[in-house]
Chain A
Amino acid sequence: MSAAASIDRDPATQVRVVGALAERALRVQFRRAQFLIPSFLLPLVLLAVIASGTSSARHLPGFPSTGAYIGFVVGGTLMQGALLAGITAGIALAVDIEGGFFDRLLSAPVHRVSIVLGRVLAGGALGACQATLFLAVAFLFGARYQGGVPGVAFAIFLTALTAAGMSALAASIALRTGSLSLLQNLFPIVFVLLFTAPAFFPRDLLNGTMRSISEYNPLTYIVEAIRAALHDDTALGSPLNGVIAASALLAGATAIAVWAMRARLRAE
C-alpha cells in the first residue's frame, strides 16, 4: 500500500479527500459552540431585531412590495450568515494551524489544493444549512416566497456560493498569518460589508455615498438576486448578476487561498 501510485495526483482520490476534509470541518463546526453561535444564532437575533424594530421602513416611498417586511430583510440575513460562515471557517483553520492538526494534513500525501477546497466546500455546505434554516424561520414568522421552490433553491445556492467564497477569503488570511486572534477580530468587518450593501434596505433608499460604495460591493448584487428569486420579481435585482458576483467572489477568493497556501509552504 505504501508503494501506491501518486494518490496526491489522482483526481478521484482527491475528490474523496476534499469530501472527507469538508465532512470533518462540518462535524467540528456543529460541535463547537463558539462556531455555532455566530453562524446560526447571531443572524437570527439580528433578523428578529431588524424585522421588528425597523419594519416601519416598508412604508417609505419607494420601498418595494414583498409582502411581510421579514420577507425582504431575510436576504440580508442570508448574507450575514454567509459572511459569518466564512469567518468561522478561517477561525477553524487558524485553530488547526495553531494546534498542529494542519501539520498532520501536510504530512499526508494530499494535494495542497485539496486542503483549501475541503475548507471551501465545508463553507458552502454550511451556508446552505444556514440559508435553509433562516428561510424556514422567516417563513414561520410571516415571510412568503412567491418564487416558490425554485426561488428558495436559488437563494440557498447563491448563499452557499457566497459562504464558500468568504470561507476561501478567510482561509487565505489564516494561511498567510496563522493567527487565530486576527481572525477573531475580523467579526466587525462582517457588519461593514453588510451595511455597505443593501442588505436590509433597498439600494434606492441608501444615501448617495453609501449607494456609490454599495455598487462596488459584490454582496449588493448577490442579495438583490436572492430577493428577486425569492419574490419572483426581477425589479428587485438580477439573478444573473448575482450568480456572476458570487461566482467571481468564489473563484477569486479560492485563487487567493491557493496562493496563500503555496506562499505558506514556501516560507516553511
Chain B
Amino acid sequence: MPADDSAVLVEDLVRTYPGGLRAVDGVNLQVAPGEIYGFLGPNGAGKSTTVRILTTLLRPTSGRALVAGYDVVADAAKVRRTIGVALQEAALDPLMTGRELLGLQGALHGLRRGAARDRGAELLERVDLVDAADRRLGTYSGGMRRRLDLAMALVHRPRVLFLDEPTTGLDPASRAALWREVRLLNDDGTTVFLTTQYLEEAEQLADRVGIIDRGHIVAEGTPDELKGRVGEPRLHVELIDPTRNAEAMAAIAAHGHCSERESGGLVLRTPEGARAIAPVIRALDEAGIEVDAVEVEEPTLDDVFLAVTGHTAAEAEAEAKATLA
C-alpha cells in the first residue's frame, strides 16, 4: 500500500560520497501526480545524484524519498516497477538495433516475447524510428538515440518518468521533437521528473521548477514566479539615427521601462518579452524613427542563479569540478 499520494516526495535527503563530498544536502521536494517537475541546476549541483537516488540506483546517506508512494530503499523493487528512466548520456549499446533494445527492455519488464515485440513496434512508431528500427545504434544521431531512450523508458507504461537532461547536446529541432513527446506523455497522465540545465526547457515543459545549487534547493516555483525574481525580459533597440533616442523612448514608453544604454541604443524592460517586438517596431515606425536592430534578452539560468544564489551557474559548475578534483 503506497505510503503517500504524491508522485515524488523527498524529505531531508542527504547523499555523501566517500571522501566527504555532500552532493545532496538536505533536499526537500514534492511532485504531484500528473505534474511535470523541472529540476534545474548546473553540472555538479546534485541533480543527477538526486535522480539516481529516486530511481533506486544509489542509496541515500540519510533522509527519505518516496516514489509513487513507495520508499526507494525499503520498497526499491516496487519503485522500479512504477518508474521509467532515461538517464543522462543515453547508455545504449551501439552494437544493438533499436528493435532489439526495445525487445530486451520489454523482457526486463516481464513482457513475453510477442508482447514485447508488439509494444516495441508501437513505441518505434510513436518516436518516429520505424525506418531506423533495424539499424545498429552506432548509426543513430544524438536525437534518435534520445528518442529511443525515451521509448525504452515507456515500454511498461510507467506512472512516473525520470528524464535526466534529455536534450543536452541536441540540435533545436531534435529538442523540440522531444519536448512535444514529453508533453503528450504528460497529457496521458504520466508524471515527469525532468532534470535540465536549460531554463528554456524548464519553462517550456515544467509546471513547477526546483533550482538546486551545491546540493540545496535554493528556489522553487512556477517558471513565471522564478522569472519574476530575476526581473523582466529586455528588448535592446538600435536606431539608425542615435540622436533620436529621446523621441524613441517616448514612443515606446507604453510598453515598459525604457532607458539609454551607455554603449548606445535603448533598453526596454518589458514583461511581454519577445511579444513586444512587433508593437515596439510599429510604434517607432509610426513616429517616423528607423530601427537598425532589435534583440530580446530573456532571463537565463545565470540570471536566476545570480538572483537566488549570488553566483553564476558557471561559477557553481567550476566550483563543483574543483571539489571533485
Interface residues of A (CB under 8 A from B): 1-4, 6-10, 13, 16-17, 19-21, 23-24, 27-28, 31-32, 99-101, 103-110, 268
Q: How far is the CB of B126 from chain A (nearest CB, A)?
A: 16
The yes or no answer to B278 lying at the interface (CB within 8 A) is no
Chain B residues within 8 Å of A103, by CB? 57, 87, 91
Please measure, in the bound complex, the distance between the C-alpha atom of A16 and the C-alpha atom of B112, giving whole angstroms. Answer: 8
Partner of A2, one of B77, B81, B103: B81
Q: How far is the CB of B45 from chain A (nearest CB, A)?
A: 20
Other than the known A3-B82, A27-B96, A31-B136, what 9 A-B pairs have Cβ atoms closer than 8 Å?
A2-B159, A7-B81, A7-B110, A17-B110, A28-B93, A99-B91, A100-B89, A107-B83, A109-B109
Please measure, in the bound complex, the distance between the C-alpha atom of A108 and the C-alpha atom of B108, giving whole angstroms. Answer: 6
**Interface residues of B, count at CB 8 A:** 34
Q: Are B92 and A27 in contact (CB under 8 A)?
A: no
Q: How far is the CB of A51 from chain B (nearest CB, A)?
A: 33
Q: Are B96 and A268 in contact (CB under 8 A)?
A: no
Partner of B57, one of A7, A8, A101, A107: A107
User: A265 — nearest CB in chain B belongs to which residue?
Assistant: B59
Interface centre among A13, A23, A108 (most CB of B within 10 A): A108
Q: Are B104 and A20 in contact (CB under 8 A)?
A: yes
Q: Are B108 and A105 in contact (CB under 8 A)?
A: yes
Given the known interface contacts A8-B80, A103-B57, the answer about A24 and B92 at a Cβ–Cβ threshold of 8 Å is no
Q: Are B109 and A7 in contact (CB under 8 A)?
A: yes
Please measure, in the bound complex, the distance between the C-alpha atom of A13 and the C-alpha atom of B156, giving whole angstroms. Answer: 14
Q: Are B95 and A31 in contact (CB under 8 A)?
A: yes
Given the known interface contacts A7-B81, A100-B91, A104-B87, the answer about A16 and B107 at a Cβ–Cβ threshold of 8 Å is yes
Given the known interface contacts A20-B108, A27-B96, A27-B100, the answer about A2 and B158 at a Cβ–Cβ threshold of 8 Å is yes
Q: Are A268 and B59 in contact (CB under 8 A)?
A: yes
Interface centre among B80, B85, B93 (most CB of A within 10 A): B93
Chain B residues within 8 Å of A17, by CB? 107-108, 110
Q: Are A110 and B96 in contact (CB under 8 A)?
A: no
Please measure, in the bound complex, the distance between the C-alpha atom of A16 and the C-alpha atom of B109, giving whole angstroms. Answer: 10
Q: List 21 A-B contacts (CB under 8 A).
A: A1-B109, A1-B156, A2-B156, A7-B109, A8-B81, A9-B77, A10-B110, A16-B107, A16-B113, A17-B107, A17-B108, A24-B104, A27-B95, A28-B96, A31-B136, A100-B89, A101-B93, A107-B83, A108-B109, A109-B81, A109-B108
Q: Are B91 and A101 in contact (CB under 8 A)?
A: yes
Q: How far is the CB of A268 from chain B (nearest CB, A)?
A: 5
Q: Are B83 and A8 in contact (CB under 8 A)?
A: no
User: B82 — nearest CB in chain A belongs to which residue?
Assistant: A2
Partner of A108, one of B95, B105, B112, B136: B105
Q: Using a CB-CB cutoff of 8 Å, which residues 49-90 of chain B contact chain A? A: 55-59, 77, 80-83, 85, 87, 89
Interface residues of B (CB under 8 A from A): 55-59, 77, 80-83, 85, 87, 89, 91-93, 95-96, 100, 103-105, 107-110, 112-113, 136, 152, 156-159
Q: How far is the CB of B135 from chain A (nearest CB, A)?
A: 13
Q: Are B96 and A24 in contact (CB under 8 A)?
A: yes
Interface centre among A2, A16, A99 (most CB of B within 10 A): A2
Please measure, in the bound complex, the distance between the C-alpha atom of A19 and the C-alpha atom of B80, giving whole angstroms. Answer: 20
Partner of A6, one of B77, B89, B100, B113: B77
Q: How far is the CB of B202 from chain A (nearest CB, A)?
A: 23
Chain A residues within 8 Å of B59, by CB? 268
Q: Are B56 and A106 in contact (CB under 8 A)?
A: yes
Chain B residues within 8 Å of A31, by CB? 95, 136
Q: How far is the CB of B163 from chain A (nearest CB, A)?
A: 13
Q: Are B57 and A1 in contact (CB under 8 A)?
A: no
Chain B residues within 8 Å of A2, by CB? 81-82, 156-159
Chain B residues within 8 Å of A108, by CB? 80, 105, 108-109
User: A14 — nearest CB in chain B belongs to which residue?
Assistant: B110
Q: Are B100 and A107 in contact (CB under 8 A)?
A: no
Interface centre among A7, A107, A268 (most CB of B within 10 A): A107
Q: Are B91 and A104 in contact (CB under 8 A)?
A: yes
User: B159 — nearest CB in chain A belongs to which residue?
Assistant: A2
Please measure, in the bound complex, the distance between the C-alpha atom of A101 and the C-alpha atom of B80, giving whole angstroms. Answer: 16
Kindly list the 5 A-B residue pairs having the minimum CB-CB distance in the complex, ordered from nearest: A100-B91, A20-B107, A7-B110, A108-B108, A109-B80
User: B85 — nearest CB in chain A belongs to which residue?
Assistant: A107
Q: How far is the CB of A83 from chain B (nearest CB, A)?
A: 23
Q: How far is the CB of A247 from chain B (nearest CB, A)?
A: 28
Q: How far is the CB of B131 from chain A (nearest CB, A)?
A: 21
Please measure, in the bound complex, the distance between the C-alpha atom of A17 and the C-alpha atom of B108, giving whole angstroms. Answer: 6
Chain B residues within 8 Å of A23, by CB? 104
User: B55 — nearest CB in chain A belongs to which residue?
Assistant: A107
Partner of A4, one of B81, B87, B105: B81
Q: Are B110 and A4 in contact (CB under 8 A)?
A: yes
User: A24 — nearest CB in chain B belongs to which residue?
Assistant: B104
Interface centre among B59, B92, B109, B110 (most CB of A within 10 A): B110
Please measure, in the bound complex, the distance between the C-alpha atom of A164 and the C-alpha atom of B103, giving whole angstroms. Answer: 24
Chain B residues within 8 Å of A24, by CB? 93, 96, 100, 104
